[in-house]
Amino acid sequence: MPSLAKTLILFGATGDLARRMLLPSLYGLHADGLIAPDFRIVGTARSGEDDASFRAMAEAALERHVLPENRSADSIAAFLDRLSYVELDASRPESFGRLADALGPRAGDGIAIFLSTAPQLFEPTIAGLAAAGLAGDNVRIGLEKPLGFDLASSRAINDAVAAAFPEDRTFRIDHYLGKETVQNLIALRFANSLFEPLWNAAGIDHVQITVSETVGLEGRVDFYDGTGALRDMVQNHMLQLLALVAMEAPARFDAAAVRDEKVKVLKSLRPIDAASIGSHSVIGQYRAGAVGGAIVPGYADELGRASDTETFVALKAHIDNWRWKGVPFYLRTGKRLPARQSEIIVQFRGVPHSIFEGRRLTANKLVIRLQPDENIRLLVMAKEPGLDRDGILVREVPLDISVPNAFAGVRRRIAYERLLLDLVEGDPTLFVRRDEVEAQWRWIDGIRAGWKATGMIPGGYAAGTWGPTAAIALTERDGVSWHD
């Protein structure tokens, strides 16, 4: 059983992620008594803050991002007392000595480190921590994405981390895995005998995964134009969702068993190469249009120059194993789409023979919505009320489980609350292992190589629409429509 960390060192503590997510999440754990009274949080960044100014920044972040009913003046004051700050420039090795000095005797107790910095700072940060004696057996490290931009760079980052932190003390974060509905997918599959007999190629026609955004660049100009939708969303979030949908039942719910099964799925993904890239992928870039009734500029206008970066990607993927032989997985993500939503659609096969003459039957469909609201909906056929003098009338009706309503007495948590608590407690189950990351990058690199080999460039789509028209054709060639 891993030891509890008594100190959390938060790199990038003055950044946007810390203000919006990390500090509010840590406050939620504090308010619910889930971290020990002597637990301390040490923030660090290049900015010249001190303890007082860092606490003032944290207080403002809590006022803005924590609901009034979930905070109180006394609880906030007690939380702020846990905070301290050390100015640190990761590019200057001597800075890390100040961090070790600030920790004092606590450096010998359990330490958890959350690294939310630019990827180019990972290697000097790891080296600085090791040189300052902050990479020992009592220290574990959490890494916020992006972890590279291709397989080679990801391996370089992982090698640098592994030089000081072995795999069992390295926690790679994908915040989607901290969402309640993502974890509920595991419960839905493996705690109910209802679905397992049908959860295969004999029972499922296809699967759709959509992660759509209404926003454009939103201040991420330099990062996004060097990344694109495939590497920003598909490589991590969407492939993790695919793996959870498709994996075999683990022998038990623990880190090794769960991640072993996910890796098997990722390694079974059929490569999309130059021969299949045209029929199995669509890329697009948004132009000027309207989202939510507001006129918005095109990507090139926001960027200030022409670019071949894709802001939309749709893929047709296959998993070459017995369970999923012949079942397509359609993935779709993009910016400036009509709605912000993350959904998994499991389309079951229809009944083999209808006894309702002349009545059109719709095959059952399971809709798992991750955001903006968490919901699980099973669409089934039911009889319409009436005397049925002309035969039984049937139509599709939803069976809904609204997660907030079903668990009304339980506070909805930020995904990072679960992940930060797991990091502090040393539970790696919901974190991504190195072989997972590299299997994901290997598949993604093959797709990008296919685009390059065929000269494929993004097609235009108007902001506020569901991407290029070719994305519709991607599924409709198979008699399938996107679930919008």
Mean pLDDT for the stretch of residues 363-377? 88
Q: Is 179 annotated as a binding residue?
A: yes
Q: Is 335 annotated as a binding residue?
A: yes
Q: Is 16 annotated as a binding residue?
A: yes
Alpha-carbon gap, residue 226 to 230, rounded angstroms: 11
Alpha-carbon gap, residue 348 to 364, rounded angstroms: 5
- pLDDT of 137 reads 92
Contact between 86 and 98 under an 8 Å Cβ cutoff? The reply is yes
Is the domain covering 7-173 a CATH 3.40.50.720 domain?
yes
- Residues with catalytic roles: 237
pTM of the predicted structure, to 2 decimals: 0.92
Q: What is the pLDDT of residues 422-458, one digit of tens each?
A: 999 999 999 999 999 999 999 999 999 999 999 999 9
Q: Give Cα separations from 268 to 36, 189, 197, 373 (angstroms).
A: 43, 20, 21, 32
78 Cβ partners below 8 Å, 6+ apart? 30
Q: Is 15 annotated as a binding residue?
A: yes
Alpha-carbon gap, residue 428 to 329, rounded angstroms: 27
Q: 381 or 408, which is more confident?
A: 381
| Six-digit token string for 475 | 């599924």
Q: How confident is the model at residue 393 (pLDDT cuts 50, 70, 90)?
A: confident
Q: Is 30 annotated as a binding residue?
A: no
Q: Is 55 annotated as a binding residue?
A: no
Sequential DSSP letters for 68-107? GGG--HHHHHHHHTTEEEEE--TTSTTHHHHHHHHHGGGG
Q: Helix, strand, or coil here: 283?
A: strand
- pLDDT of 175 reads 86
Q: What one-letter code names the amino acid at 39? A: F
Stretch among 71-75, 286-290, 331-335, 405-409 having the lowest mean pLDDT: 405-409
- pLDDT of 406 reads 59
Beta bridge partners of 319: 269
Sequential DSSP letters for 306-373? -----SEEEEEEEB-STTTTT-EEEEEEESS-S--EEEEEEEEPPPSS-SSTTPPPPPPEEEEEEESS
Mean pLDDT for the stretch of residues 286-313? 94
Q: What is the pLDDT of residues 89-112, one digit of tens each?
A: 888 888 899 999 999 888 888 999
Q: Helix, strand, or coil here: 412?
A: coil
Stretch among 226-230, 350-354, 355-359 having the lowest mean pLDDT: 355-359
Q: Is 386 annotated as a binding residue?
A: no
Residues of the chain with CATH 3.30.360.10: 177-412+433-477
Q: How confident is the model at residue 161 (pLDDT cuts 50, 70, 90)?
A: very high
Alpha-carbon gap, residue 188 to 374, rounded angstroms: 14
Sequential DSSP letters for 143-194? EESP--SSHHHHHHHHHHHHTTS-GGGEEEE-GGGGSHHHHHHHHHHHS-TT
- pLDDT of 220 reads 72
Output DSSP code: residue 196.
G
Q: 281 or 186, which is more confident?
A: 281
Q: What angle do CA 210, 213, 217 make, to 5 degrees?
A: 140
Q: 400 or 242, which is more confident?
A: 242
φ, ψ dihedrals at 173, nearest 5°: -100, 130
φ, ψ dihedrals at 170, nearest 5°: -115, 125
Q: Helix, strand, or coil here: 268?
A: coil
- pLDDT of 434 reads 96
Contact between 72 and 29 under an 8 Å Cβ cutoff? The reply is no
Stretch among 200-214, 217-231, 338-352, 441-455 having the lowest mean pLDDT: 217-231
Q: How confident is the model at residue 308 (pLDDT cuts 50, 70, 90)?
A: very high
334 Cβ partners below 8 Å, 6+ apart? 212, 213, 229, 284, 286, 311, 312, 313, 467
Mean pLDDT for the stretch of residues 201-228? 90
- As a whole number of Å, the end-to-end CA separation of the chain is 45
Q: Would the pLDDT of 118 be above 90?
A: no
Stretch among 114-118, 148-152, 381-385 having the lowest mean pLDDT: 381-385
CATH architecture of 177-412+433-477: 2-Layer Sandwich (3.30)
Residues of the chain with CATH 3.40.50.720: 7-173
Burial of 258 (0-12, 13-18, 19+ CB in 10 A): buried
Q: Would the pLDDT of 150 be above 60?
A: yes
Q: Residues of the chain with pLDDT > 90: what percent?
A: 70
Alpha-carbon gap, residue 309 to 227, rounded angstroms: 7
Contact between 242 and 209 under an 8 Å Cβ cutoff? The reply is yes
Q: What is the pLDDT of residues 309-330, one digit of tens each?
A: 999 999 999 999 999 999 999 9
Q: Calculate the average pLDDT of the chain.
A: 91
- pLDDT of 269 reads 98
Beta bridge partners of 314: 282, 332
Mean pLDDT for the stretch of residues 162-188? 89
Alpha-carbon gap, residue 428 to 171, rounded angstroms: 6
